[in-house]
Amino acid sequence: MSLQPAESPSAAFQAQIDACHAAGGGEVLIPPGCHHTGSLVLRSNVHLRFAPGAVLLGSGDIAHYAVKGVPLFIDAVGGERGHALIFAQDAHNIGISGPGIIDGNGLAFEGQTHRPMILRFVRCSGLRLRDVTLRDSAAWVQHYLDCEDVAIDGITVDSTHCSNNDGINLDGCRRVTLANCRFNAKDDAITLKTTTAAICRDIAITNCTLSSECNGIKLGTESKSDFRNITISNCALHHVRLCGIEILSVDGAHIDTVNISNIVMDHVGGAFFLRLGQRGLNEKIARPGCVRNISITNVSAFIHDDTPEVVDLRWEVPHGARSASSIMGLPGYPVENVYLGNIDIHHIGTGTAEDAAQPVEEKPAEYPQWERWGPLPAWGLYVRHARGVTARPAFPPASPGCPSLHLY
């Protein structure tokens, strides 16, 4: 479908942004009140500042998002994506701040193939996002593609009405801090991915709270290029239907040096899942990548059960939702050098002797979602095709001489 630009309600704000850019940069104020708008293109050296009580409400007409030169792509469910309420490409020193709201008007696009995001930035640098609330996106809430030097602080994401509604996607980005944010997402809350050749590296996620009807924090699934030097710390996850933290290389990526610490999870489907697979989507890489040098420490997780609190969420608990956390490589391609320390998982279990007797299939090309292997023959942690795994008990140890568990 080729979209034709329509008369857009965004013309006045776009004129201010263009004039500010032409004058060398500065701030464009979004005043109090509800402002109906289509796509706005942010230019270099321009910052949008929201006054208290300011709301940008996205148009329900996809034609109002037809910006010339926007790179489009087909997402994992076959929908064409790329349009956004606020968009920038090859821009530097840009920002959005203030206590206002950007509302994607997502329900207006329910059931449509073409659904816009709220924010999308492509090959931008020096990007600052602070304090704003992002609400009800029609697709991914935020997509940062091949960006660098990004600081996101104190934002709120509340977007649960539409499918494929990730809270944030950091896609092949470098030198990113994501701090003090709150996410409530229909799909994965925080996702790092590599859909192109751009590497995802030097990223710090800290002091965030999040809930999700899918996964909490995920590296992958799209993993066509490498992930390096990632830290995730001091985060609280609650009411996550699937897995709290997933680290997934299935498209040939090398995932190397990931440190996860000080995480609490309440009512999650599973605590963590590390997976090295090979689904063959990256035709340039014929063999699996690697998952190595992973540290997970100081984690407390309560696995959800069928209490009324969970049932009231109307979640369909997936097959295998009672399954253990797991580390899975492939024959000849182990997950390597994983350190687990002071991890406390409260698990309802309910596995049977028949479950334990069932063979666990390799499924190298399976979509790497933790519950798809079904109930595993382990209570708390299942490890297969891994080398150099060290697990230390939760504090305090059972006795001063309590040994560590080393798996080779």
pLDDT digits (tens, 9 = 90+) for 71-114: 777 676 666 778 999 999 999 999 999 999 999 999 999 888 88
Phi, psi at 370, each rounded to 5° = -55, -35
Q: Does residue 177 sit within a domain?
A: yes
Collapsing DSSP to helix, strand or coil, 281 comes out as coil
Collapsing DSSP to helix, strand or coil, 408 comes out as coil
Of residues 238 and 163, which shows the higher confidence score? 238
Mean pLDDT calculated for residue range 161-190: 96
Mean pLDDT calculated for residue range 186-198: 96
Residue 393 to residue 125: CA distance in whole angstroms: 42
Of residues 352 and 57, which shows the higher confidence score? 57
Mean pLDDT calculated for residue range 260-282: 92
Pick the range with the lowest mean pLDDT from 15-24, 116-125, 312-321: 312-321
Residue 166 to residue 205: CA distance in whole angstroms: 16
% of the chain exceeding 70 in pLDDT: 88
- For residue 81, the domain's CATH number is 2.160.20.10
**Which among 80, 81, 82, 129 is positioned nearest to 102, based on CA atoms?**
129
Q: Does residue 181 sit within a domain?
A: yes
**Which among 364, 380, 181 is positioned nearest to 271, based on CA atoms?**
380
Residue 334 to residue 292: CA distance in whole angstroms: 9
Collapsing DSSP to helix, strand or coil, 99 comes out as coil
pLDDT in the model for residue 260: 98
pTM of the model: 0.92
Cα separations (Å) of 195 from 62, 171, 199, 202? 24, 7, 9, 17
Q: Does residue 8 sit within a domain?
A: no
pLDDT in the model for residue 395: 58
Mean pLDDT calculated for residue range 234-243: 95
In angstroms, how far is CA 333 from the centroid of its own chain? Answer: 26
- Residue 27: pLDDT over 80: yes
- Residue 320: pLDDT over 70: no
Mean pLDDT calculated for residue range 373-396: 85
Q: Does residue 113 sit within a domain?
A: yes
Q: What are 229's two structure tokens?
A: 């030097």
What is the residue type of 353? A
* CA angle 22–94–215, rounded 5-degree value: 150
Instruction: Categorize the per-residue pLDDT at 352 as very low, low, confident or very high, splitting at 50, 70 and 90.
Output: confident
Mean pLDDT calculated for residue range 51-67: 94
Q: Does residue 3 sit within a domain?
A: no
pLDDT in the model for residue 280: 76
Contact yes or no for 210/216 (Cβ under 8 A): yes
% of the chain exceeding 90 in pLDDT: 71
pLDDT in the model for residue 406: 44
Residue 81 to residue 64: CA distance in whole angstroms: 15
Collapsing DSSP to helix, strand or coil, 297 comes out as strand
Mean pLDDT calculated for residue range 9-23: 92
pLDDT in the model for residue 19: 97
Mean pLDDT calculated for residue range 224-247: 96
**Which among 238, 143, 152 is positioned nearest to 191, based on CA atoms?**
143
Where helices occur in 53-188 by DSSP H, the ranges are: none
| Helix H or strand E segment including 22 | helix 11-22
Contact yes or no for 315/307 (Cβ under 8 A): no
Cα separations (Å) of 145 from 122, 123, 176, 187, 193? 5, 6, 12, 19, 9
Q: Does residue 6 sit within a domain?
A: no
β-strands 182-185, 148-153: how paired? unpaired
**Which among 343, 216, 231, 319 is positioned nearest to 267, based on CA atoms?**
216
What is the residue type of 184? N
Domain membership of residue 385 as a residue range: 13-407
In angstroms, how far is CA 379 from the centroid of its own chain? Answer: 27
pLDDT in the model for residue 157: 98
Mean of per-residue pLDDT scores for the chain: 88
Q: Does residue 208 sit within a domain?
A: yes
pLDDT in the model for residue 311: 40
Q: What are 7's two structure tokens?
A: 């008369």
What is the residue type of 118? I
- Residue 237: pLDDT over 50: yes
Q: For 289-298, how does the pLDDT look when each residue is reduced to its tens digit (9 = 90+)? A: 999 999 999 9
Instruction: Categorize the per-residue pLDDT at 321 as very low, low, confident or very high, splitting at 50, 70 and 90.
Output: low
Tally of domains within the chain: 1
Contact yes or no for 265/366 (Cβ under 8 A): no
Of residues 179 and 373, which shows the higher confidence score? 179
- Residue 55: pLDDT over 60: yes
Q: Does residue 103 sit within a domain?
A: yes
- Residue 208: pLDDT over 50: yes
pLDDT in the model for residue 5: 40
